[in-house]
Amino acid sequence: MLGRIEQEEVEKEQLSSAASLSSESRGRLKEEQACDIRTAFQHDRDRILHSKAFRRLKHKTQVFISPEGDHYRTRLTHTLEVSQIARTAARALKLNEDLVEAIALGHDLGHTPFGHAGEKSLTEITKKPFKHNQHSLRVVDYIEKRSSGERGLNLTMEVRDGILNHTGDNVPFTLEGQIVRIADRIAYINHDIDDALRANIISADELPKNAVKVLGKTHSERIDKMVRDIIEESWKQDKIKRSPEIKEATSQLRNFLFEQVYIGSKGKDEVEKANRLLKHLYSFFMKNIDYIPEEYLEFEKNKQQAVIDYIAGMTDRYAINIGQELFIPKPWFEKNI
């Protein structure tokens, strides 16, 4: 049987000297007995995959709020694309693929309903920045429950660091976390272009010409070029790198998306409605705290934080449905007998 100990030995033999070995993990928040079958990072991946927060990603906005088409990305499909891109790079660089997968699957668990519009709403409500990466860590550390009933997923420090620092000013301390950080950007830039093209918000001819020349004309060409660049630039290096040319072309595409898709496009027509809905929900729950499920109140005594945790965990459709239930009057009629 290839159990945990045998797999740890395989890692030592086959992975790069720069890889994060599961046998040398910095440990968990709370010490626990190791699984005899799975390595620490495999165990983390499984805990994330089986969490309620992960399942809810399928109904959370990526870019377009509650899109009607079946082929638009959601936060879940984005997460899977990040995982695929990151694992490809990690395998080629002989880094720890299990660690990469765990970080990738958990990196967006703290996203609000309605994507970044929801983040903006909660920031305006609380008067302090709501950061989905910070909330993702809060989800795995405190909010999510395991099947045993224990609070928090008790993940390894390497996975927690990768989740927290997949965006923002700080860089993950593992190379695996650094891969996910770049894979996240590769995934959303390319699939957001694909979705915007499908929605006729942009046309292929409008894409920055230099970026297309450097990266390619198609979705697959661009991803392939970006991933190959990571592998070539990072081989036997002490950090994950990109070439200046690819990095600049990628930034050009990202800036284009902000100008043409993320801000002010027809795909964002419902953003203000989503903003108002979340603010109404917050106001209602603060005045009617008994509506908050007990699981959010049993560990968080700060009423405002419990309300924010509850709202942030909602899917788009749940927020819409509960808004209709609370704020939209139902017609009354008398039955003639």
Measured CA to CA, the distance from residue 187 to residue 178 in angstroms comes to 14
Q: Do the domain assignments include residue 85?
A: yes
Cα dist from 153 to 120, 330, 333, whole Å: 27, 40, 49
Q: 89 by DSSP, 3-state: which?
A: helix
Q: Which residues of the chain have pLDDT under 50?
A: none
Position 275 scores a pLDDT of 92
The first and second tokens of residue 241, run together, are 């790198």
List phi, psi (to 5°) of 199: -85, 0
Ranges assigned E (strand) in the chain: none
Cβ count near 248 (within 10 Å): 13
304: domain range?
41-327
Q: Using the 8-state DSSP alphabet, how is residue 108 labeled? A: T
Position 301 scores a pLDDT of 86
pLDDT in tens, 105-149: 999 999 999 988 899 999 999 999 999 999 999 999 999 988 788
Measured CA to CA, the distance from residue 115 to residue 121 in angstroms comes to 10
Q: Do the domain assignments include residue 2?
A: no
Measured CA to CA, the distance from residue 123 to residue 121 in angstroms comes to 5
pLDDT in tens, 50-88: 999 999 999 998 877 666 667 889 999 999 999 999 999
Q: Do the domain assignments include residue 179?
A: yes
Q: Do the domain assignments include residue 24?
A: no
Q: Do the domain assignments include residue 76?
A: yes
CB-facing half-sphere around the CA of 208: CA atoms within 13 A: 19
DSSP result, 29-72: SS--PPPSSS-HHHHHHHHHHTSHHHHHGGGSBSSSSS-SSTTS
CB-facing half-sphere around the CA of 96: CA atoms within 13 A: 34
CB-facing half-sphere around the CA of 239: CA atoms within 13 A: 8
Nearest to 138 by CA among 300, 328, 314, 329: 300
Position 271 scores a pLDDT of 86
Contact criterion met (CB below 8 Å) for 274 and 268: no
Q: Tell me the whole-structure pTM to 2 decimals.
A: 0.95
User: In CATH, what number is assigned to the domain containing residue 157?
Assistant: 1.10.3210.10
Q: Do the domain assignments include residue 21?
A: no
The first and second tokens of residue 325, run together, are 């239930």
Measured CA to CA, the distance from residue 313 to residue 48 in angstroms comes to 15
Q: 244-257 vs 175-198: helix axis angle to the nearest 10?
A: 40
List phi, psi (to 5°) of 129: -60, 125
Position 182 scores a pLDDT of 98
Q: Do the domain assignments include residue 31?
A: no
Name the domain count of the chain. Answer: 1
Position 262 scores a pLDDT of 86
Q: Do the domain assignments include residue 11?
A: no
Nearest to 26 by CA among 153, 140, 154, 158: 158
DSSP result, 169-219: SPPPSSHHHHHHHHHHHHHHHHHHHHHHHHTTSS-GGGS-HHHHHHH-SSH
Residues paired with 74 in a beta bridge: 61
Position 68 scores a pLDDT of 65
